[in-house]
Amino acid sequence: MLRTHTCGELRLDNVGEEVILTGWVQRLRDKGGMLWIDLRDRYGITQLTFEDGVTPAHLFEAARSLGREYVIRVVGKVIERYSKNDKIPTGDIEIHASKIEVLNAAKLPPFMIEDETDGGDDLRMKYRYLDLRRTPVRRNLELRHQMMRAVRAYLDEHYFIEVETPVLIKSTPEGARDFVVPSRMNPGEFYALPQSPQTFKQLLMVSGFDKYYQIVKCFRDEDLRADRQPEFTQIDCELSFVTQEDILNTFEGLIRHLFLKVKGVHIEKLPRMTYADAMKYYGSDKPDTRFDMRFVELNPLVKNKGFKVFDDAELVVGINAKGAASYTRKQLDELTDFVKRPQIGATGLVYARVQEDGSVKSSVDKFYTPEDLQAWATAFNAKPGDLLLVLAGDKDKTRKALNELRLEMGERMGLRDKNVFSPLWVVDFPLLEWDEDSNRYHAMHHPFTSPKPEDLELIDDRPGDIRANAYDMVINGVEVGGGSIRIHDRRLQEQMFRLLGFSNAEAKAQFGFLMDAFEYGAPPHGGIAFGFDRLCSLFGGADSIRDFIAFPKNNSGRDVMIDAPSPIADAQLDELHIKMKNLPS
């Protein structure tokens, strides 16, 4: 090794030792007669010291000529530091250097390689290899590494076997758009990159591998946002001879294990909420339950009082922001503007304050008597000082808008603490959802999800009322995992395909291999997949999964560091039998 120690390990016990360190010059402080260099590597920072008259003149000048991010090797003696630094683990010592070797000079970096940098997102993504030198970014990847180790340890302990599945597969029509790969040896035909290993893990169950897992790359060509990347990582799992209860218990155990091993946080048994209750009380199938503020429906209390907005509405519903009655008119106007934003879509906001004397004052006082408003307060279980916020309109749209308002109020009131974790299971999803544009049902999860056995009698007459044998794990308002008990019977799978609008020929062309496999003794099975990047960002207290991916894409799906995607040579296109159309400029 070129070094005897790292830049993070020397302590007072090492005083007097001759050591060799290597690393990058973090910063240089030149006080004329004294010179200090902070030397950094992956493990930490150690201070080097040079003193005019004590350090040989040539060495002093060599140190003075170093620049930021120079890669150097230093020989020196460990001494006790006179002015100690309790901000770093090595802050009690420093190195009195006797030799410096420049291993590689460096250009001045385009941004500061510091915890708090002056580089914007685009610049840091272009020079991601420099951004990765920063301590917060490195710690994110160290957290990811810890998470991966803990996942494997838990699943190994529970007799899961890790099996790799293909990356070049067949394109399927359900879900997001596929990324496709042309086949040179099969002109005019294409592979797809897997959105998940769904069919392969089911085939592994048919093969008798009763507990499979894989920490696997998946690919979806969809619009990007903070918690989406075109390529992402899943903890993908499948089990045979299990019920939904078995799967919930097994993977609740995994999450509790991760919190304990990685965060040192003990999580109690996860509560369960039906999809119907999640939508009714939170307006979302991934409710943030770190705070209460559940929806209260007001239809019987507010209709037929002459207020047209409420009279004409399918649903009148609100939340109680406890202690927020002191909100000013300006703050209430801000909330009104917030819910009227196009992406939220409410037409307005009604509010009511519960005064210190218990009376209620609202923005629609002229339509409602004091007794009417007291009935509102009772419905919300409101106390003096509380603020009631009410929306009205189409049922689904209004619940969605109120969910956004609830989250906004949770943020403003400091109720969404990133150091507090509130996981739960959401169960009993609808099996199907109707799509007006295509005039047919789509699978809410995927076509292989099994219906609840007690709902099978609805399959011919009321398919929209069938509940899925499916479940999602939600933490702090983020869906971190989801899965289902699968269909393992060919006849039921064929019925499902028909419900989804597949002809027999289409079903056979897309999934014939799976249907054929079901005829060779497919066991009952089910599984779950966790968004590993999302879990990492949640554990790390960040909003974006990009912070926990070594080389992420930007919001346009580009890697600006290597400039991908990019055109390919005409000769390659000819080999692949691909002809380019005139593209829009």
- How much is the average pLDDT of 252-257? 98
- Residue 219's nearest CA partner among 182, 194, 190, 191 is 194
Structure confidence at residue 336 as a pLDDT band (50, 70, 90): very high
Average pLDDT score over residue span 238-253: 97
Query: Is residue 175 predicted with pLDDT exceeding 70?
Result: no
Percent of the chain with pLDDT over 90: 84
Per-residue exposure over 284-299, b if at least 16 CB sit within 10 Å of its own CB, e if not: bbbbbbbbebebbbbe
Q: Provide the 3-class DSSP secondary structure of residue 194.
A: coil
Report how far apart, in Å, the C-alpha atoms of 30 and of each of 49, 63, 71, 247 are.
Answer: 10, 10, 19, 62
Task: Tell me what the pLDDT averaged over the chain comes to.
Answer: 94
Helix (H) or strand (E) holding 31: none
- The answer to whether the Cα torsion of 399, 401, 403, 405 is positive or negative is negative
- Give the model's pLDDT for residue 582: 76
Average pLDDT (127-143) is: 97
Query: pLDDT tens digits for 76-110?
Result: 999 999 999 999 999 999 999 999 999 999 999 99
Q: Omega of the bond prior to 552 within 30 degrees of 0, cis?
A: no
**Count of all residues that appear for the chain in the document:** 585
**Pair 534, 542: CB distance under 8 Å:** no
Residue carrying the six token digits 């250009």: 107
How far apart CA 478 and CA 52 sit, in angstroms, is: 58
Q: What is the pLDDT of residue 40?
A: 97
CB atoms within 10 A of CB 390: 26
Average pLDDT over residues 539-563: 93
Mean pLDDT of 472-493: 94
Query: Does pLDDT of 421 surpass 90?
Result: yes
Query: Which residues are annotated as part of the binding site for L-aspartate?
Result: 174, 220, 445, 486
Report the pLDDT averaged over residues 166-178: 83
Distances (CA, A) of 60 to 31, 40, 63, 77, 102: 12, 20, 5, 16, 14
The first and second tokens of residue 377, run together, are 């307060």
Lowest-confidence range among 11-25, 73-87, 433-447, 487-501? 433-447
Binding site, annotated residues: 174, 220-222, 229, 445, 479, 486, 531-534
Strands 231-240 and 525-531: antiparallel
pLDDT at 173 over 80: no
Residues 6+ apart with CB under 8 A from 197: 165, 214, 216, 218, 236
User: What's the pLDDT score for residue 462?
Assistant: 87
Q: What is the pLDDT of residue 456?
A: 84
Residue 441 pLDDT more than 90? Answer: no
Q: Is the pLDDT of residue 438 over 80?
A: no
Percent of the chain having pLDDT more than 70? 99
Q: How large is the average pLDDT for residues 375-380?
A: 96
Q: What is the mean pLDDT of residues 521-538?
A: 96
Residues making up the annotated binding site for ATP are: 220-222, 229, 479, 531-534
CB contact set of 212 (below 8 Å; sequence gap of 6+): 160, 161, 162, 163, 201, 204, 205, 236, 237, 238, 239, 527
| Mean pLDDT within 501-530 | 90
Residue 51 has pLDDT above 90, yes or no: yes
Instruction: State the pLDDT at residue 174.
Output: 58
* Low-confidence winner among 161-165, 286-290, 571-575 (lowest mean pLDDT): 571-575
Report the pLDDT averaged over residues 455-468: 86
Please write the tens of the pLDDT for every residue from 182-195: 999 999 999 999 99
All residues at 6 or more sequence positions from 285 whose CB lies less than 8 Å from its CB, including other chains: 275, 278, 279, 426, 429, 472, 479
Distance CA 20, CA 12 (A): 16
pLDDT for 585: 61
User: Phi first, then psi: what are they for 336, rounded to 5°?
Assistant: -65, -45
Measured between alpha carbons, how far is 61 from 46 in angstroms, rounded to an integer?
20
Q: Which domains does the chain have, with CATH numbers?
A: 12-104 (2.40.50.140), 151-241+529-574 (3.30.930.10), 291-416 (3.30.1360.30), 424-522 (no CATH)
Q: Which of 168-177, 281-290, 351-360, 370-379 has the lowest mean pLDDT?
A: 168-177
Strands 360-362 and 350-354: antiparallel
Torsion, CA 252, CA 256, CA 258, CA 259, rounded to 10: 140
